[in-house]
């Protein structure tokens, strides 16, 4: 029997000091860059979205991948690219940490919808409250 592994992870991290540097013009460029990095590194990104001060990514991990390396690559390559292209008025940095929440196969569609609707969610909840919500109720997004 072949190995069967299905590990979905919802990743969330913010900009350094939660500066709102991901403007509407940068948003599609950043999402495209995340997709490029994913393709280059062999990551299976299911959905991604950004807000001015943070990013959400749902991905499926392969057996040879680990979360910390995935986050390190995406954060490092995107920040370097943003600075190289001078896409923000100041130096761009991501925060040091990140949130990683396991997602059951039954919840993938719900998490995809949650990530797609970030702009709506943030009319009701800021980033700090969202992180608390995900930490406490992550299974029931």
Residue ranges of domains in the chain, CATH in brackets: 7-135 (3.30.70.1290)
As a whole number of angstroms, the distance between CA 30 and CA 133 comes to 25
- How far from chain centre, in Å, is Cα 104? 17
Catalogue the E-assigned strands of 2-115. Answer: 7-14, 44-51, 54-61, 99-103
pTM: 0.84
Q: What is the pLDDT of residues 72-130, one digit of tens each?
A: 999 999 999 999 999 999 999 999 999 999 999 999 999 999 999 987 665 665 555 55
The answer for residues whose C-beta is within 8 angstroms of residue 88's C-beta and 6 or more apart is 21, 23, 26, 82
∠ Cα 13 64 115 (to 5°): 30
Q: What percent of the chain has pLDDT over 70?
A: 83
The answer for residues whose C-beta is within 8 angstroms of residue 118's C-beta and 6 or more apart is 49, 50, 51, 56
Residue 30 is predicted with a pLDDT of 98
- How far from chain centre, in Å, is Cα 136? 18
């Amino acid at each position: 029997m072949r190995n069967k592994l299905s590990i979905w992870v919802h990743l969330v991290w913010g900009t350094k000091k939660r500066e709102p540097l991901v403007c509407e013009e940068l948003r599609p460029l950043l999402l495209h860059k995340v997709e490029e990095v994913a393709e280059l590194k062999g990551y299976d990104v299911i959905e991604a979205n950004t807000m001015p001060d943070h990013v959400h990514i749902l991905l499926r991990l392969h057996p040879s991948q680990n979360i910390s390396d995935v986050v390190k690559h995406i954060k490092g390559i995107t920040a370097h690219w943003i600075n190289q292209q001078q896409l923000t008025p100041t130096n761009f940095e991501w925060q040091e940490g990140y949130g990683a929440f396991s997602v059951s196969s039954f919840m993938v569609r719900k998490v995809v919808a949650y990530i797609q609707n970030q702009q709506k969610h943030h009319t009701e909840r800021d980033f700090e409250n969202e992180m608390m919500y995900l930490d406490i109720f992550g299974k029931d997004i």
